[in-house]
Structure 1
Amino acid sequence: MSLDAVADRTHGYTGADLTAVLVDAATRAAGSAAGPPVIRQRDLEAALDAVGPSTLRDASVQTPTTTYQDIGGLDRAKREVVRTVEWPQRYPALFERLDAAAPTGVLLHGPPGTGKTMLAKAVAASTDANFLSVDGPELMNRYVGESERGVRDLFERARRLAPAVVFLDEVDSLAPARHDTDTGASERVVSQLLTELDGLSPRGSVAVLAATNRRESVDPALLRPGRIETQVAVPIPDQDARAAIFEVQLDGVATGRIDTTALAAATTGYTGSDIAGVVREGALLAMEDHLRETEFDATDASGLVVTQRHLRRAIETTAPSVDGAG
């Protein structure tokens, strides 16, 4: 393999990445040589396959354990995600029978802390798909000029690992509306993202989930049919959903008698993350009372429980995280 060929395959690699490629290739050569080791083309090709560019380190491959049962409320959002992402991967024969193309992508939009990331992980777990997550701001800010290469490598990796779910968090930072920006880098990233979406298989082996707190800031071309065409609102939970979230968050917690309906009524405007924070604060208040009552004897935790009083006190000391809520 010529150096020009290596250079063509290593766009986006840093100096440290290239060093890692050479070390890997040398190790392979040494392991297979009877005499003095010599790095051959196959060693370099194998090393290039094994050592990716730094941009891909932002796209971590996970096997999530989050389930739909871990998410309180969001029944409508769950239904839409199941139909558009889970069904094509679990029941491809049904799509083939009706000659129906699976939706390419889903945009989850709503305020911060409402459960968009948890929903994406739950659908990946339900299909046993590999979960590749990339954070828009990190990709754009850390690798200016190489971001489009990172997008291309991300989707190449997803196709190799299919079935896979690609999660683009804060997609408005990765693909902002092009009339709102004057940076050539953003335009190139959006164009590359559109190219990758247009090239996905129609049978749903790679599904794309994107999340944003600002739907209006996402480039409209990304949301056209055949791309990230399904838009799913993930709203601030209503009272019934808040009660369900309290039940999920308190599952496994040692508690006294808890009235989740009353707690839900007292937390208007709270997101799922806010409610998780209330439960954590309630647990700390319970520990504080227990330590005071036992004169700071931490050896006996048998009487330690979270009560309604602890949770009401926690609500009094917290506030909704979304501006204007509550």
Structure 2
Amino acid sequence: TGKTLLAKAVAREAEANFIAIKSSDLLSKWYGESEQQIARLFARARQVAPTILFIDEIDSLVPARGRGMGEPQVTERVVNTILAEMDGLEEMQSVILIGATNRPALVDPALLRPGRFDELVYVPVPGKDGRRRILAIHTSKMPIAKDVDLDDIAKRAERYSGADLEDLVRRAGLYALREHGGLVETVSMKHFERALKDSRASVTPEMEEEYSKMEAALKQNALRVEPIGFVAPGMLTPERDSKHGD
């Protein structure tokens, strides 16, 4: 849905340096190497501050601890390193961290507490006006016929993401190429009609409903998370209450 593009736009509007990295680039099979790479990444971001530091697919880097995902020891060390970099002894110093994920429920709740990822932004698929503008961008250099109605296409392409719309325009162009033997004067509405039939939205109504429920639950879970440590509800017995009754 354009999460990476949105992060780039934030950096451009803020006139800040932009560092983008995938979670897989930070994970290593060698003991302690993942933590060192994370520390080096944050040190580099501080050196060139102001910086927007963008980590894509962050759920694979900082999954919730204690759920048996991945190697528990490695996961806990990586999560603790990220937490220490975000609000440890060394301040962020004009470094803004943005993480993107399609599975926010898998992210460790400790990262969603105030002072870390303060804002949770749900990036939905574009609305009708947004789809119309995206179609206009992708068809700006395409010789489209006068009968092509971008407003009608945008209306019918419900739940299409930016990538889906780009694929739709590409398909229409390919159908026109095949019809005219490689010499295309214009791409007409019939080519877009065929492209609409042969393409589909990558986001389903069920997915949208799931994300809307998840959006409300995430903040509540973050506020209920236990402080960093090894004490969980039920582990401690209130001996004082049982002995003294106060």
TM range (shorter): 0.7 to 0.9
**Structure 1, residues 10-36: CA drift from partner, whole Å, max 9, x if none?**
xxxxxxxxxxxxxxxxxxxxxxxxxxx
Aligned positions of 1:158-197 closer than 5 A: 158-181=45-68, 183-197=72-86
Bigger mean CA deviation after superposition, 142-151 or 307-316: 142-151
- State the 1:141 CA deviation: 5.5
SS at match of 2:120: strand
Contact kept in structure 2, 1:129 and 1:164, CA below 8 Å: yes
* CA shift for structure 1 position 308: 2.0
1:122 pairs with 2:9: yes
Superposed displacement of residue 193, structure 1? 0.4
Taking the aligned partners of 1:144 and 1:262, their CA distance within structure 2 comes to 56
Question: Against the structure 1 CA distance between its residues 317 and 164, is the aligned structure 2 distance closer, same or farther, given a 3 Å change threshold?
Answer: same
Q: Secondary structure at the match of 2:66?
A: helix
Moved more, 174-183 or 163-172: 174-183
> How far did 1:153 drift?
0.5
Residue 287, structure 1, aligned to residue 177, structure 2: yes
Q: 2:125 aligns with which of 236, 240, 253?
A: 236
Residue 305 (structure 1) aligns with: 186
- Sort the Cα spacing of 1:148 and 1:221 in 2 relative to 1 into closer, same or farther, 3 A: same
- What secondary structure, in the 3-state scheme, does the structure 2 residue paired with 1:233 have? coil
Flag the 1:126–1:254 CA change in 2: closer, same or farther, 3 A. Answer: farther
Alignment-derived partner of residue 10 in structure 1: none
Tell me the amino acid that sits aligned with residue 147 of structure 1: S
Deviation at 1:174, TM superposition (A): 0.6
Distance 1:155 1:141 in 2: 17
Give, in angstroms, the shift of residue 325 of structure 1: 6.6
Partner of 2:199: 318
Indicate yes or no: 2:102 matched with 1:213: yes
Asked if the contact 2:35–2:81 (Cα under 8 Å) also holds between the matched residues in 1, the reply is: yes
Cα offset, 1:201, TM superposition: 4.4
Contact 2:171 2:195 in 1 (8 A): yes
Kindly state the Cα deviation for residue 208 of structure 1 after the two structures are TM-superposed. 1.0
**Are 2:192 and 1:267 equivalent residues in the alignment?**
no
The Cα shift of 1:248 comes to 2.5
Q: Deviation at 1:223?
A: 1.2
User: By how many angstroms is 1:145 displaced?
Assistant: 3.9
Look up the equivalent residue of 1:215 and give its one-letter code.
P
- In the alignment, residue 217 of structure 1 is paired with which amino acid? L
* Deviation by residue 1:101-160 (Cα, 9 ceiling, x = unmatched): xxxxxxxxxxxxx11011011122233322111111342256564111111100000011
Taking structure 1 as the reference length, what is the TM-score of the superposition? 0.57
CA 1:279–1:141 in structure 2 vs 1: closer, same or farther (change >3 Å)?
farther
> Structure 1 unaligned runs (5+)?
1-113
Aligned pair in 2 of structure 1 residues 325, 223: CA closer, same or farther (>3 Å)?
A: closer
What is aligned with 1:66?
A: none
How many residues get paired?
203
Rounded to whole Å, the distance in 2 between the matches of 1:235 and 1:283 is 27
CA distance 1:271–1:250, change in 2 (3 Å): same
Q: For the residues of structure 1 that align with 2:202 and 2:36, how far apart are their CA atoms?
A: 36
Where does the alignment leave 5 or more consecutive residues of structure 2 unmatched?
A: 209-246
Alpha-carbon contact 1:287-1:304 (below 8 Å) kept: no
CA contact (8 A) 1:140 1:173 kept: no
TM-score (normalizing by structure 2): 0.74
Residue 15 of structure 1: aligned partner: none
RMSD: 2.3
**% identity of equivalent residues:** 40
For 1:290 and 1:144, locate their aligned partners in 2 and report how far apart those are by CA, in whole Å. 59
Label 1:143 to 1:307 Cα distance change in 2 as closer, same or farther (>3 A). Answer: farther
Q: Supply the distance in 2 between the matched residues of 1:218 and 1:146 (Cα, whole angstroms).
A: 21
